Amino acid sequence: MRVLGVDPGLRIAGYGCIDYDRTNNNTQLIEGGAIRLDPKQSVSFRLSQLYCDLQEIISDTNPELIAVETIFTHSRQVATATILGHARGVILLAGEQASLPLVEITPAEIKKSMTGNGRATKVQIGHAVTSMLDLQKPPDPPDVSDALAIAITAAVRQ
């Protein structure tokens, strides 16, 4: 199963595509990277750029499933949740336009799946991804590790 995980953001959106073989529990990295969006541009411009870049990534990687993190926020960060909601909407639209099924996963579920701890840090997630995918070092920026963790969690869950 090929899964594209996307870590939503309007400054940096991480993405990671993996192949997962359920018969031997083998996970292989296909591609990972970061979509860097200029914070000096308007939100609408960045959303448009995110959508176009995601369309290209979907076309290049040909996933069977898209996975995205649900929004989690504290009451102090309502504005952040709103911005992430916009980015998630674009990700959902790109998946729907490509006729791909979508899986939404909570941050705690991703962390627990990857490390056994629902409160794991970004560094711990990076190390878990590095180990699972047999990489030399954690992907940089951490948004890429997060996206790969989303994809891995979704693949194992299916």
The string of pLDDT tens digits covering residues 111-125 is: 999 999 999 999 999
20: tokens are 């997962």
Distance CA 128, CA 111 (A): 10
pTM: 0.95
Identify whether 140 is a catalytic site residue: no
Q: Report domain extents, the chain.
A: 2-157
pLDDT at residue 56 tops 80? yes
The mean per-residue pLDDT over the stretch 69-91 comes to: 81
From the candidates 7, 96, 134, 140, give the one annotated as an active-site residue. Answer: 7
Domain 2-157, second-level architecture:
2-Layer Sandwich (3.30)
From the candidates 31, 69, 109, 140, give the one annotated as an active-site residue. Answer: 69
Identify whether 7 is a catalytic site residue: yes
Identify whether 134 is a catalytic site residue: no
